Amino acid sequence: RCYGRTPRGQHSALLKAGQLKKMESAILHRSLGKAYPTAVSGQGVYLITDNGQKILDGSSGAAVSSLGHGNTEVIEAVVTQARNLSFAHTSFFTSDPAEELARVIIDRSNGAFSKVTFLSSGSEAVETALKIARQHHIYNGEPERIHIIGRMHAYHGNTLGALAAGNNPPRRDAFSPLLSSAFHHVSRCFYDADGQGMSEGVYEDRLISEIESKIETLGPKTVAAMIVEPVGGATLGSVPPTRTYLPRLKDLCSRYGILLIFDEVMCGMGRVGSYHAWQQLGGVAPDLQTIGKGLGAGYQPLSAVLLAPKVVAAFEEGSKKSLKFTSGHTFQGHSMGCAGALAVHRILKRDQLISHVGEMGMLLESVLQKGLLSEINEYAVSMRGMGLFRTVDFGRMQVALGGPLAQEVADETFRRGAAVYTCSPAVDAILFAPPFIITAKEVAELSDIFVSALRAVTKRRKGSKL
Ligand code: PLP
């Protein structure tokens, strides 16, 4: 709405005059026909709309705004970079912010990665990781490795390759005729939902042998990569794996020469209380990793693929024979995005925000549990997650109250002043992923708003149905 040389102030003057508000939205929104409120500013954990409503950002959008809103240090870093240089194409140049940010990420990863490539979105990062895996095998003299194994109910993004790698039916179904047959899916790792009547060990054994059977069926020498979210996110709502699942997966993939990709676009960059999620989940690094969302914390669109030394070595060997990495996007490695993310990293470290995530995450779980005690007892409402990546699953409530609740509860929560993320349709659940800077008082406020919204929806449903 604010294009080109709009003089300062003219845009808000239009808003004040109510002219833009009266017009029908010119944006193709996700929900056609829904009237979206206009967000005009942000401060800390709050977003402010044009009619002055203050909304507590209880999910950081979709686990993006980890530093909250209006952080002047990050804004200054982006603006300073814009003044120096906004854009220089990566076919010709590198930039100081990109080089420095790559070094910071490598240094914080304890030798797990030796190179980084920056993109603009999580989907682009996933596409790029898949292409790197494919090219790695070509350079290694195994061009027959073409298959990619993903998992049911995973979400890896919306571009066609990422959509094929994931398996979120509502986002995927319309496009499935366009998706490559090189993608295959095995069971998700969700012990609480799928492991009933089994010990965790037996459940994990089953999953690992299912993956091994899939590899054997496809042909062990034809599988290029396996991709997993270490902590399931958008579709299932903060599902951590069983204790030794990720290390066993890495071992299995290594035995078959398959590259393992961890998609930490949502769960990485401190969200679950460690810099990388896998560091708390068995401690075994992948061959390739995607990050996004919290990397730029929403101040600029930025994502990345992190490459293990062995993958880099294959590329370096390949480049001796004049081979290249054949992929690229116009805005990759954008210096303003990298400058902003460098400031985000500086603040995360200086203010010890990742340990604060651990503390606030436990507090969020305990206040929600206290607030939802009667629902927990009556309907087996449950909680899961790590750090500030927590999910309330409505359990049997939808059966008792006439259908899924998540969207209605999220809408009611919004009306009462907090935004939370709806997971569906595989689960009826709400995801909480507030900014890392959230205080104990704001945690209590978020929980109170949510619990009151749930109670209002319950009352409504009981009134209309029972
Ligand atoms: N990977 C994961 C695990 C995600 O959660 C998402 C988005 O929610 C993506 C990839 C895609 O990221 P983007 O929406 O930035 O393309």
Q: Which residues contact 315 (CB under 8 A, 6 or more apart)?
A: 132, 135, 136, 139, 307, 323, 325
Average pLDDT, the chain: 93
- Ligand 1 center to 61 CA (angstroms): 12
Is the C-beta atom of 264 inside 6 A of ligand 1? no
Per residue in 360-411, pLDDT (tens digit) is 999 999 999 999 999 999 999 999 999 999 999 998 999 999 999 999 999 9
- Ligand 1 center to 427 CA (angstroms): 18
Q: What distances in angstroms separate CA 151 from CA 154, 218, 264, 282, 434, one per listed residue? A: 6, 15, 15, 19, 27
- Ligand 1 center to 233 CA (angstroms): 9
Q: Whose CA is nearest to atom 5 of ligand 1?
A: 266
- Ligand 1 center to 303 CA (angstroms): 10
Calculate ∠ Cα 409-233-164, nearest 5°.
115
How far, in Å, CA of 424 to CA of 255, rounded? Answer: 35
Is the C-beta atom of 60 inside 6 A of ligand 1? no
- Ligand 1 center to 295 CA (angstroms): 12
CATH entry, 37-70+352-465, from 3.40.50.720, 3.40.50.300, 3.20.20.100, 3.90.1150.10: 3.90.1150.10
Atom of ligand 1 nearest to the CA of 123: 16
User: Cis omega before residue 425 (within 30°)?
Assistant: yes
The pLDDT value given to residue 29: 85
Position 257 pLDDT exceeds 70: yes
How far, in Å, CA of 214 to CA of 209, rounded? Answer: 9
Nearest to 301 by CA among 89, 65, 76, 465: 65
The pLDDT value given to residue 34: 82
- Ligand 1 center to 156 CA (angstroms): 5
Q: Are 263 and 269 in contact (CB under 8 A)?
A: no
Query: Facing residues of 210 across strands?
Result: none
The pLDDT value given to residue 21: 57
Is it true that 37-70+352-465 and 74-350 share their CATH fold?
A: no
Is the C-beta atom of 133 inside 6 A of ligand 1? no
Per residue in 260-290, pLDDT (tens digit) is 999 999 999 999 999 999 999 999 999 999 9
Domain residue limits, the chain: 37-70+352-465, 74-350
Position 7 pLDDT exceeds 50: no
Average pLDDT of the segment spanning 206-223? 98
Is the C-beta atom of 62 inside 6 A of ligand 1? yes
Q: What distances in angstroms separate CA 405 from CA 414, 423, 432, one per listed residue? A: 14, 11, 16
Q: Which residues contact 84 (CB under 8 A, 6 or more apart)?
A: none
Is the C-beta atom of 166 inside 6 A of ligand 1? no
Q: Whose CA is nearest to atom 12 of ligand 1?
A: 122
Architecture of domain 74-350: 3-Layer(aba) Sandwich (3.40)
Strand-pair category, 46-49 with 39-43: antiparallel
Average pLDDT of the segment spanning 116-139? 97
Average pLDDT of the segment spanning 91-112? 97
- Ligand 1 center to 123 CA (angstroms): 6
Atom of ligand 1 nearest to the CA of 301: 15
SS3 131: helix
Per residue in 11-65, pLDDT (tens digit) is 454 455 445 555 788 888 888 878 889 999 999 999 999 999 999 999 999 999 9
- ipTM for the assembly: 0.99
- Supply the DSSP symbol for 186: E
Average pLDDT of the segment spanning 346-372? 98
Helical axes 440-465 vs 353-371, angle rounded to 10°:
30
Per residue in 406-456, pLDDT (tens digit) is 999 999 999 999 999 999 788 999 999 999 999 999 999 999 999 999 999
